[in-house]
Amino acid sequence: MLADLDGVVYKGKDAIPFAVESINRAGQQMRVGYLTNNASRTPESVASQLSSLGLDVSAEDIVTSPQAAVRLLAGLVPAGSTILVIGGEGLVSEVAHAGFVVCDSALEAPAAVIQGYFPEIGWKHLAEASFALNDAPDIPWVATNTDWTIPVARGIAPGNGTLVSAVHTAVGRLPVVAGKPEVAIFEEATARFGGTHPLFIGDRLDTDILGANRAGMESVLVLTGVDGPKQVLAADDKSRPTYIVGDLRQLHEPYPATVEMTDGDARLFAVGSSTVRLQGNAVTVDRAGDAIDLVRAGAAAIWGSGIAIYGLEVDPGLYSTSSV
C-alpha cells in the first residue's frame, strides 16, 4: 500500500482523524510506503513527523519527489555536474547525496536547474532559475512537481506549480517533472518496495489519481484533503479512482458493488443504501442513504452516462452533503 501524505495522513501539523490507526492496521498485513510531492523536507524529517503522530515508519518508507527528480537528473547530465538548486533542505540534500555540486547562482554556469517548493522561496530564487535557463537555453530543467495547491493547517495555499509557472513565463519552456502525476515517483516507489499489486491512496484527482492511473496502479481517493464530492463527480476518464472513501477507516470495510437497473427509460445506479437516477441528461438522487455511498452511486451514474459533465443536470444533493 502506498499513501500520499498531505491531505491523507495529515493536514499541516495535525493528523487527519482515523488516518493513523487505519494505516497502522494495514501495516500489520502489508508493506506500507509513503509518496510525497513536498520537496521542502528530507525523508528523515518526514518520518520523524509521522512517527510523532503514531505511525510505525522509517525514512526508508518515504519516497519524495526530490528523490525521483534526482533520478531523472542523473540521466540528463554527467555525474558530478554543478546544479542550480531552487528548493529547500529536502531537495538540496538529495542533489548533494547523488554526488552533484550544489550552487545557488546562475553565475556559476550550472549544467542544469532543479526546482522544488519550500516555504521561504522568493523572487530572487525564481530569478536565478530564469537567468540560468535564459543564459543557457539547452540545459535541462527538472521540477520536483507541479501541484497548483498544497493543503496546510490554515487551508489551501499555492503549490510548486505556481512557482514553476512563474519561471516558465520568464523562459518560455517547460521542465521535466518527476512528481505526481508523472510516473517517475511511482517507478521510484515500485523499485524500492516491490510488490505486484500496489494500491495508492491520495486526496487529489489531478496528481494522485491521475498519476496512479498512468502508472497502472489501482487507487483510492479519500475525501479528507483537496478534492471533495463535486470534483469526484466531474472527474474525467483519466482521473477517476478505483475506489472512493470518506476516511481511511473504510479501507477495512467491504467495498459495496454498484448495481445498475432500469426503470422505464431511466437507469438506476445503486451502491449500498443509496440510489441515483439517470434519466436523459438529468442525474438525481433517488434514495439518499449513506453519504459516501451516494457519492459512489453518483460517480457511477455520471461516469457511466457517456455524457460530459457540462452536458448533465446534476442534483446538488449529490455533492453538497456535509457529512462526507
Q: Report in angstroms the alpha-carbon separations of 298 from 225, 244, 246, 255, 258.
A: 20, 11, 14, 16, 10
Q: Are 62 and 43 in contact (CB under 8 A)?
A: yes
Q: Where are the beta strands (DSSP E) in 155-265?
A: 155-158, 176-177, 199-202, 218-222, 243-245, 258-263
Query: Which one of the listed residues 4, 206, 208, 293 is annotated catalytic?
Result: 4
Residues 6+ positions from 141 with CB-CB distance below 8 Å? 112, 113, 114, 115, 129, 133, 167, 171, 173, 174, 175, 176
Pairing of β 274-279 and β 282-287:
antiparallel
Sign of the CA dihedral 119, 43, 49, 323?
Answer: positive
Query: Which one of the listed residues 6, 61, 147, 227 is annotated catalytic?
Result: 6
Verify whether residue 6 is a known catalytic residue: yes
Count how many Cα atoms sit within 13 Å of the Cα of residue 286 in the half-sphere of its side chain: 24
Three-state SS at 52: helix
Verify whether residue 4 is a known catalytic residue: yes
Active site residues: 4, 6
